[in-house]
Structure 1
Amino acid sequence: MTGGTYALLVELPEPISPPIGALGTHELPAGWYAYVGSALGAGGFSRIDRHRRVAAGEHDVRHWHVDYLLGHEATTLRDAVRAPGREIECPVARALPAGPVDGFGASDCDCRSHLAYASDEDELRRRIDAAIADA
């Protein structure tokens, strides 16, 4: 298997209010965000490369909720944590702190959100690592 589950770590140094597709406009406070996704198809983790292109402004198609966050000029994609060969997207998302947008990245499951928020990067990284280890 060439893919698995991943968590994108996104830094937001200032509050923003971006439109997020059909979810509408939402206020996002400054801090750190983790978006949990899966890359289980034929392309595997190449999905992360697409996310990096959106974050760098090299790809402007907004297909997924996370595209609206990554495509905003104030955000910076800092890292991608991978769990190769593991289909644990929902258990990891449920184990992370709540995010400010219900339904974000969770239109095909019953999770509250796949976007987590924390004011501190280290805390969010620890929570991601623990969630992956426990799933």
Structure 2
Amino acid sequence: MNSNRRGVYVLVIEAHGQTCVGRLGQHNFDGIYLYVGSALGPGGFQRVERHRAVAAGRNQTRRWHIDYLLGLGQLKGVLLLETSDKTMECALAETLARFAEPTIAGFGASDCHCRTHLFRLKLCNETHCK
């Protein structure tokens, strides 16, 4: 992946189980989660490659909140949005909060004023949503 490319990204993660999320403590996960992150720094979208390595078990370092969830769950997809707009990460998180369930307060949001950057999708079938 070209490290000159920068922007924000959304990771799609399926997770079932319990794990400690660093200073945020123990949390239960059950479902499909969307995580909004920033790749505006010097490495650009190389950060996403690091997340893929954590999810695949090739990197055991737990640096960010998302690393703990990736160690538990399966990375199902990645959406890359190329931008230099530093407000886009939080704007995207605010938009997702309207459509998905905000989860752990402070998750991925220690450097901004957002409640969280992790959201749980509601899954529906013909009879109900959970």
* Short-chain TM bin: 0.7 to 0.9
Give the alignment partner of residue 103 of structure 1, picking from 106, 110, 126: 106
Asked if 1:22 corresponds to 2:20, the answer is no
Contact 1:27 1:100 in 2 (8 A): no
Match of 1:76 in 2: 74
Give the alignment partner of residue 6 of structure 1, picking from 9, 12, 22: 9
Alignment RMSD (CA, Å): 1.5
Match of 2:128 in 1: none
- Percent identical pairs in the alignment equals 45
Structure 1, 81-90 or 2-11: larger mean CA deviation: 81-90
Q: TM-score, normalised by structure 1?
A: 0.80
1:119 is displaced (CA, Å) by 3.1
1:77-92 pair list within 5 angstroms: 77-87=75-85, 88-92=88-92
Query: Which structure dedicates a bigger proportion of its chain to strand?
Result: 2
Larger Rg computed on CA atoms: 2
Mark the runs of 5 or more structure 2 residues left unpaired by the alignment: 125-130
1:53 is displaced (CA, Å) by 0.2
Contact 1:98 1:113 in 2 (8 A): no
| Runs of 4 or more consecutive aligned structure 1 residues displaced over 6 Å after TM superposition | none
Q: TM-score, normalised by structure 2?
A: 0.83
1:26 is displaced (CA, Å) by 1.2
Aligned length: 116
Mark the runs of 5 or more structure 1 residues left unpaired by the alignment: 122-135
